[in-house]
Amino acid sequence: MPYTEVEGRRLALSNLDKVLYPATGFTKGQALHYYVTVAEVLLPHLRDRPVSFLRYPDGVDGDAFFAKNVPPGAPDWITTREVTRISSTPTRQVLVQDLATLVWAGNLAALELHTPQWRTQHEARADRLVFDLDPGHGAGLIECRTVALWLRDRLAADGLTALPKTSGAKGLHLLAPIEITPSTAASAYAKKIALEAEAEAQLGGLALSRMARELRPGKVFVDHSQNAAAKTTAAPYTLRAQQQPLVSAPLTWEELDAADRAEQLTFAAPELPDRLERLGDPMAPLLDPSLPVRIPK
């Protein structure tokens, strides 16, 4: 079994040639390489947030499992925290605070990294707002873009700065930094905005605030539920378990506005290094301490 040293930590790496994305031949070694390449921009978005891992030990066509608790056999140098306020059963979760932990997680075939909207210093008190725009049958990324632009302007009217990223699947995510506030209040505000989007004449009935499948064809579901303290969202730059190694990639509003095809808003892991060199991290403002504002009651 090959070993590598990362930031002074000795890590055993296994099955690097194992194909995790059969449709493209993308291997576990390539997934690890991707995470190392984007670590500089990814790690700040993970810092101090308990990570839930979506693991695919047999690749994206095999069985997967969602792991919240610290996996058995985790090294003792991994940073962990007990999460006590979001369920009746406390969990001990991993904080991916450094490159060594990121490589360790990648070696577990933890392709997807999901985090809540709060940090462990203020459990169940959100420091960001999220909307997951999920298109129903007959709609797609371009329809999500229409709703995203409306949401951007509506949130700006309340002083919030919304930042877009691809979900890495079919839709878009919008995130906005907010002053630390109870997740219940953040959830209530997000639901209010989703209801406004559904009623907005300018959107012509495109937006939907309810999850019911029978209502969703041709519409964009504005999922506000991920603001709940117990919910998580795919982190910026995480891989997603699609047929290709697609990434939840931060976007600029300019490129989102200019796109006329979904393919222009879809990014796979091999494209990210050049993209980061050109753009830096379009979601860096999410970490700007001067941007969070108090959400209206």
In a domain, 14, yes or no: yes
The pLDDT of residue 68: 93
In a domain, 204, yes or no: no
In a domain, 97, yes or no: yes
How far apart (Å, rounded) are the C-alpha atoms in residues 276 and 292? Answer: 24
- Answer yes or no: are the C-beta atoms of 166 and 172 closer than 8 Å: yes
In a domain, 135, yes or no: no
Residues 14-58: tens digit of each pLDDT: 999 999 999 999 999 999 999 999 999 999 999 999 999 999 999
In a domain, 158, yes or no: no
How far apart (Å, rounded) are the C-alpha atoms in residues 231 and 227? Answer: 7
Tell me the CATH number at 96. Answer: 3.90.920.10
pTM beyond 0.85: the answer is: yes
Segments forming the whole domain that contains residue 58 = 3-121+231-241
**Consecutive 10-residue averages of pLDDT for the chain (297 residues):** 88 96 98 98 98 97 94 95 90 97 97 98 98 96 97 98 96 98 98 98 95 88 97 98 98 96 96 97 95 90
In a domain, 176, yes or no: no
The pLDDT of residue 37: 98
The pLDDT of residue 3: 79
How far apart (Å, rounded) are the C-alpha atoms in residues 218 and 241? Answer: 24
In a domain, 165, yes or no: no
Closest CA to 176 of 160, 190, 191: 160
The pLDDT of residue 223: 98
In a domain, 69, yes or no: yes
- Answer yes or no: are the C-beta atoms of 145 and 252 closer than 8 Å: no
How far apart (Å, rounded) are the C-alpha atoms in residues 225 and 228? Answer: 6
**Token couple for 189:** 């505000």
Annotate 143-165 with DSSP letters as a single string: HHHHHHHHHHHHHHHTT---EEE
The pLDDT of residue 297: 80
Closest CA to 95 of 86, 107, 104: 104
User: In total, how many domains does the chain have?
Assistant: 1
The pLDDT of residue 87: 83
Closest CA to 154 of 188, 186, 196: 196
